[in-house]
């Protein structure tokens, strides 16, 4: 099994990991992967990949507009708002 | 020197589909609304909300498939592309990855006098993200989610393009086609059509180099500038003994330079996987076939028709097919009148387009004036008024100042085509011109022009020049 880059994973997950916990989480993740790796024991060389457990096709709707809520509804959980914008700590690329 | 270098370019063009509602929600798909006006709980990524596929988007994708010579795939799959950004509240973009709805298409572009086939690898449906505004507050970003969930068709070409001009031709042709089949409004300023440019350089005939991607260009001017800058930048690095790093670049419109995005140390790890909220799209052949007639005539079809049926010149036909609204206006006038199409076309690309340009109008805005325009053209082609008088009246007709026949009367521009009356004028004009008459009979054609001018002047420009010419010749040859 390949090694786990715990720093990179915590970056991708946007989680701050104290350095003393890195080894613990690294090992936990390794255990999980080892367990999931059991799946590799199954021979899938002759099996088509399955994208969904049902054989059905996506359910569709017609291209019609309906409005179900107000701007205030959408902004009601925002940590901060300014006029009708969500206000978040600056993120600039 | 850049002489022995060449650029290799592939493009990702994002076209916003002009549906009424969004890809997976029934919020309005509309530009220019107040902030967060077109946002519901699906768009804002509230827990437990489920996306529902808008069939209008599939329909538009299939139309695009026909227009761009794609294989239309009966089976396609939506996947989640995971990344964190405040204007992407779900935490992932729903896109198609392994199984796009369209694959292996192409279009032909013109390069000089030749055509070049540009192969297109794939086109897939995906959601647009929202907008972050950074310049209102020094410490905060303001987020507007109106654009979240807007349907995009991402059209990915093979690296078949080799100059900025080819790129611009390719995007113009794509834009023209998408507008013809009515799936995209083509408004680049509003971001309805944007391009990411993948560019690498190589010495002629050598292997492909490492490419850089320039993100989010939304005008032909910037695309050209960015390509030329990036081409030179890469050559300079290699000439200086360096190597090109595979990077995502931003184009700074104020300096005309490209620069690498800051987060390059973590090239994205999108962790695609099939979206468990959405079943695969499985289309039947019947569903696909049913959409074919909606594609309508494509620019090339119209071009051939104009040449074959209406005997237009190539250059004039090209101007008319350039935009669908030109072609619509032209065909409306043909269907409403018996004036020769060739005559209509000449006036359309001449004085009528000049008027539109001068007054900053949309071609569409003349759609309700076609009857008046063709009435005026009828008066000109029937010699009721002169060409010159026609040019004088046209702007008034286009401004809706009156009916052509009324304007002709009002301004006294009716042409004198009564041969009795013209004969009188001509006879008077010839009095005392014995010397010139002899000159003409001696073979000097220039004198004829002099006489025509004299007669026209005598009629205050209203005499029918063709008729004057004819009668004059009869008189002079006696």
Q: Match 């059991």 to its residue by tokens.
A: A38
- Cα angle value B391/B393/B395 (rounded, 5°): 85
Average pLDDT, chain A: 88
- Nearest chain A Cα distance for residue B18, angstroms: 11
Contact state of A8 with B266 under an 8 Å Cβ cutoff? yes
Helices (H), B25-89: 55-67
- The reported pLDDT for the residue numbered A93 is 58
Share of chain B above pLDDT 90, in %: 66
Return the higher-pLDDT residue of B121 and B85: B121
Phi, psi of B409 (to 5 degrees): -65, -50
- The reported pLDDT for the residue numbered B267 is 53
Q: Which of B40, B78, B283 sits opposite A68 (nearest CB)?
A: B40
**Domain parsing of chain B, residue ranges:** 5-289, 297-410, 419-477
Contact state of B142 with A64 under an 8 Å Cβ cutoff? no
Q: How does residue A54 score in pLDDT terms, banded at 50, 70 and 90?
A: confident
Q: Which of A63, A84, A91 sits opposite B34 (nearest CB)?
A: A84
- The reported pLDDT for the residue numbered B265 is 44
List the single range of A66-80, B2-16, B212-226, B457-471 with lowest mean pLDDT: B457-471
In this complex, how many residue pairs, one in chain A and one in chain B, have their CB atoms less than 8 Å apart?
A: 135
The Cα A85–Cα B58 span in angstroms is 31
- Taking each helix axis from N to C end, the angle separating B370-381 and B324-336, rounded to the nearest 10 degrees, works out to 60
Q: Which of A60, A69, A92 sits opposite B134 (nearest CB)?
A: A92
Q: Are B84 and B193 in contact (CB under 8 A)?
A: no
Q: How does residue B76 score in pLDDT terms, banded at 50, 70 and 90?
A: very high
Residue A61: inside a domain, yes or no? Answer: no
> In this complex, is the C-beta atom of B35 within 8 Å of any C-beta atom belonging to chain A?
yes
By CA distance, what is B268's nearest residue in A? Answer: A12
Alpha carbon dihedral B253, B257, B258, B262, in 10-degree steps, equals -80
pLDDT digits (tens, 9 = 90+) for B183-237: 999 999 999 999 999 999 999 888 888 999 998 898 999 999 999 999 999 999 9
B92-119 residues labelled b (16+ CB within 10 A) or e (exposed): bbbbbbebbbbbebebebeeeeeebebe
Contact state of A84 with B36 under an 8 Å Cβ cutoff? yes
- Nearest chain B Cα distance for residue A24, angstroms: 23
B residues 115..134 contacting A (CB < 8 A): 132-134
Q: Which of B37, B271, B274 sits opposite A71 (nearest CB)?
A: B37
Tokens at residue B439, please? 């000159």
The contacts of residue B304 (CB under 8 Å, 6+ apart) are none
Top residue of A65, A66, A77 to mutate, by most chain B CBs within 10 Å, is A65
Return the higher-pLDDT residue of B169 and B206: B169
Top residue of B44, B81, B83, B139 to mutate, by most chain A CBs within 10 Å, is B44
pLDDT digits (tens, 9 = 90+) for B246-278: 888 889 888 889 988 765 445 567 889 999 999
Q: Which of A63, A83, A84 sits opposite B19 (nearest CB)?
A: A63
Collect all residues of chain A within an 8 Å Cβ-Cβ radius of residue B20: 63-65
Number of Cβ within a 10 Å radius of residue B343: 15
B residues 70..109 contacting A (CB < 8 A): 77-78, 84-86, 99
Per residue, what are the HEC states of B412-425?
CCCCECCHHHHHHH
3-class SS at B16? strand
Rounded mean pLDDT of A14-28?
Answer: 90
Q: Are B54 and A61 in contact (CB under 8 A)?
A: yes
B402 has a pLDDT exceeding 50: yes
- The reported pLDDT for the residue numbered B370 is 93
List the single range of B218-222, B325-329, B468-472 with lowest mean pLDDT: B468-472
A24 has a pLDDT exceeding 70: yes
Rounded mean pLDDT of B397-411?
Answer: 86
A85 has a pLDDT exceeding 60: yes
Return the higher-pLDDT residue of B432 and B94: B94
- DSSP-derived letter for residue A46 is T
- The reported pLDDT for the residue numbered B73 is 97
Average pLDDT, chain B: 90
Residue A13: inside a domain, yes or no? Answer: yes
- The reported pLDDT for the residue numbered B253 is 87
Collect all residues of chain B within an 8 Å Cβ-Cβ radius of residue A51: 77, 99, 274, 280
Give the H or E element holding residue B114. Answer: strand B114-127
By CA distance, what is A70's nearest residue in B? Answer: B37
By CA distance, what is B37's nearest residue in A? Answer: A71
The Cα A40–Cα B115 span in angstroms is 51
Per residue, what are the HEC states of B161-227?
ECCHHHHHHHHHHHHHHHHHCCCCCCCCCCCCEEEEEEEEEEECCCCCCCCEEEEEECCHHHHHHHH
Collect all residues of chain B within an 8 Å Cβ-Cβ radius of residue A62: 54-56
Contact state of A61 with B26 under an 8 Å Cβ cutoff? yes
- The reported pLDDT for the residue numbered B264 is 46
B438 has a pLDDT exceeding 60: yes
Phi, psi of B191 (to 5 degrees): 85, 15
What is the span of the domain harbouring residue A15? 6-41
Dmax over Cα atoms in chain B, in whole Å? 101
Collect all residues of chain B within an 8 Å Cβ-Cβ radius of residue A54: 279
- The reported pLDDT for the residue numbered B445 is 76
Rounded mean pLDDT of B443-454?
Answer: 81
- Taking each helix axis from N to C end, the angle separating B419-430 and B446-458, rounded to the nearest 10 degrees, works out to 120
Q: How many domains does chain A have?
A: 1
Q: How far apart are the first and last CA of chain A?
A: 35
Return the higher-pLDDT residue of B389 and A53: B389
The Cα B174–Cα B107 span in angstroms is 8
B477 has a pLDDT exceeding 90: no
CATH for B419-477 (1.10.10.410, 3.40.50.150, 3.30.1540.10, 3.90.1150.10): 1.10.10.410
B70 has a pLDDT exceeding 90: yes
- The reported pLDDT for the residue numbered A68 is 86
B residues 133..192 contacting A (CB < 8 A): 133-134, 136-145
Return the higher-pLDDT residue of B67 and B458: B67
| Residues of A engaging B, defined by a Cβ cutoff of 8 Å | 8, 11-12, 14, 51-52, 54, 56-69, 71, 73-75, 77, 80, 82-93
- Nearest chain B Cα distance for residue A75, angstroms: 8
Contacts 24+ apart (CB under 8 A), B107-114: B107/B68, B107/B69, B107/B170, B107/B173, B107/B174, B107/B177, B108/B173, B109/B166, B109/B169, B109/B170, B109/B173, B110/B169, B111/B165, B111/B166, B111/B169
pLDDT digits (tens, 9 = 90+) for A38-49: 999 999 999 887
By CA distance, what is A66's nearest residue in B? Answer: B26
Collect all residues of chain B within an 8 Å Cβ-Cβ radius of residue A70: none
Q: How does residue B478 score in pLDDT terms, banded at 50, 70 and 90?
A: low
Helices (H), B102-182: 164-180
Q: How does residue B164 score in pLDDT terms, banded at 50, 70 and 90?
A: very high
B295-312 residues labelled b (16+ CB within 10 A) or e (exposed): bebbbeebbebbeeebeb
List the single range of A33-42, B46-55, B245-254, B428-437 with lowest mean pLDDT: B428-437
Dihedral over Cα of B76, B82, B83, B86: its sign: positive
Q: Are strands A60-61 and B53-54 parallel, antiparallel or unpaired?
A: parallel
B473 has a pLDDT exceeding 50: yes
3-class SS at B11? strand
B38 has a pLDDT exceeding 90: yes
- The reported pLDDT for the residue numbered B467 is 80
């Amino acid at each position: 099994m390949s090694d786990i880059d715990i720093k990179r994973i915590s970056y991708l997950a946007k989680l701050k990991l104290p350095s003393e916990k890195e080894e613990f989480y690294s090992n936990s993740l390794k255990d999980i992967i080892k367990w999931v790796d059991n799946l590799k024991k199954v021979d899938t060389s002759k099996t088509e990949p399955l994208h969904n457990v049902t054989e059905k096709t996506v359910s569709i709707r017609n291209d019609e507009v309906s409005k179900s809520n107000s701007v205030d509804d959408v902004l009601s959980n925002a940590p901060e708002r300014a006029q009708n914008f969500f206000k978040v700590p600056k993120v600039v690329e | 020197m850049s002489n022995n270098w060449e650029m290799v370019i592939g493009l990702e063009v994002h076209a916003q589909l002009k549906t009424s509602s969004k890809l997976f929600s029934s919020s309005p798909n509309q530009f220019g609304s107040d902030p967060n006006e077109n946002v519901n709980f699906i768009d804002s990524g509230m827990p437990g909300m489920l996306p529902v596929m808008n069939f209008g988007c599939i329909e538009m994708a299939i139309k695009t498939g026909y227009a761009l010579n794609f294989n239309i795939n009966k089976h396609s799959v939506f996947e989640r592309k995971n990344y964190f950004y405040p204007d992407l509240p779900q935490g992932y973009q729903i896109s198609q990855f392994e199984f796009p709805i369209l694959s292996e298409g192409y279009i032909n572009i013109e390069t000089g006098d030749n055509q070049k086939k540009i192969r297109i690898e794939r086109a897939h449906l995906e959601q647009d993200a929202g907008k972050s505004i950074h310049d209102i507050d020094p410490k905060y970003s303001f987020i507007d989610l109106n654009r979240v969930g807007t349907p995009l068709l991402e059209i990915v070409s093979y690296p078949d393009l080799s100059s900025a001009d080819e790129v611009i031709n390719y995007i113009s042709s794509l834009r023209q086609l998408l507008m013809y089949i009515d799936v995209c409004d083509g408004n680049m300023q509003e971001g309805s059509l944007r391009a990411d440019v993948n560019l690498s350089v190589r010495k002629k005939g050598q292997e492909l180099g490492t490419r850089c991607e320039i993100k989010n260009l939304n005008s032909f001017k910037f695309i050209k500038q960015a390509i030329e800058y990036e081409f030179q930048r890469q050559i300079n690095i290699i000439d200086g003994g360096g190597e090109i790093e595979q990077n995502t670049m931003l184009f700074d419109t104020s300096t005309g330079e490209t620069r690498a995005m800051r987060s390059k140390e973590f090239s994205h790890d999108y962790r695609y996987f099939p979206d468990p909220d959405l079943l695969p799209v499985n289309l039947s052949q019947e569903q696909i076939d049913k959409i074919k007639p909606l594609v309508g005539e494509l620019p090339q079809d119209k071009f051939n028709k104009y040449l074959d049926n209406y005997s237009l010149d190539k250059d004039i036909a090209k101007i008319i097919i350039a935009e669908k609204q030109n072609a619509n206006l032209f065909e409306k006038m043909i269907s409403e009148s018996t004036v020769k199409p060739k005559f209509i076309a000449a006036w359309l690309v001449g004085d009528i387009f000049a008027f539109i340009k001068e007054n900053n109008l949309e071609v569409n805005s003349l759609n309700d004036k076609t009857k008046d325009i063709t009435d005026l053209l009828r008066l000109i082609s029937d010699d009721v008024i002169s060409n010159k008088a026609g040019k004088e009246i046209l702007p008034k007709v286009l401004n809706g100042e009156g009916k052509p026949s009324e304007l002709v009367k009002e301004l006294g521009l009716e042409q004198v085509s009564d041969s009795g009356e013209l004969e009188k004028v001509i006879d008077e004009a010839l009095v005392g011109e014995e010397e010139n008459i002899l000159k003409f009979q001696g073979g000097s054609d220039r004198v004829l022009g002099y006489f025509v001018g004299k007669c026209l002047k005598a009629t205050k420009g209203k005499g029918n020049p063709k008729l004057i010419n004819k009668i004059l010749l009869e008189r002079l040859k006696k």
